[in-house]
Amino acid sequence: MKITIVRHAETEYNHIGVMQGNSNYELNEKGRRECKKLREELKDVKFDYCYMSPLLRAVETAFILVGDRVETFPDKRLIERDLGDLEGHPRSDYDVSKYWNYDLNSTDLGVEGIQSVFARAKDFLDYVIPKHQGEHILVVSHSSVVRAMHHLLHHTNLHNDKLFDFPIKNCYCETIEVIEIQKK
């Protein structure tokens, strides 16, 4: 099977460098343009299903990408990381070394622990992989969940300090071939 993971396109909060967390914002015009560009790049890809975070920016991204051509399912496990008291603050207030340290699993200021984000991503993958053997699914989510799925699908050692070492920009898109599970 194949899983294509996409981060939602740009919102106004992304543009000005403010963290959104579970806030529900729509895409801005630049976001809609970058999403339409990605749709053009994916036009020849046949997706069997689309799963998306129920937050507006992910739903809007999913519908621009696949419209009504593919059955879509909102899934709460794909929602953005709860940023607690940091929601609405500048990105510069976010301590990556603290909040992306798997072993530390900091929940300071009410931020959802990173192990919880990975657990949600793993639970989602454990559901869709056996269900969609031989199919290609599109998953539209947020930076923390997309990053967690990337690491889980690439079997990264989670007990290192490299979990935040690659950028997940708006409209990030990656297709990962998942080894089929043998049915008994």
pLDDT of the chain, 184 residues: tens digit per residue: 999 999 999 999 999 999 999 999 999 999 999 999 999 999 999 999 999 999 999 999 999 999 888 999 999 999 999 999 999 999 999 999 999 999 999 999 999 999 999 999 999 999 999 999 999 999 999 999 999 999 999 999 999 878 998 889 999 999 999 986 655 4
**The domain spanning residue 15 has which CATH number?**
3.40.50.1240
Q: What is the pLDDT of residues 60-113, one digit of tens each?
A: 999 999 988 899 999 999 999 999 999 999 999 999 999 999 999 999 999 999
Q: How many domains does the chain have?
A: 1
In a domain, 184, yes or no: no
In a domain, 129, yes or no: yes
String of b and e for 75-106 (b: at least 16 CB within 10 Å)?
bebbbbbbbeebbeeeeeeeeeeebbbbeeee
In a domain, 106, yes or no: yes
In a domain, 118, yes or no: yes
Q: State the residue range of the domain holding 21.
A: 2-177
Question: HSE on the CB side for 161, CA within 13 Å?
Answer: 4
Contact in structure between 150 and 89 (CB atoms under 8 Å): no
In a domain, 182, yes or no: no
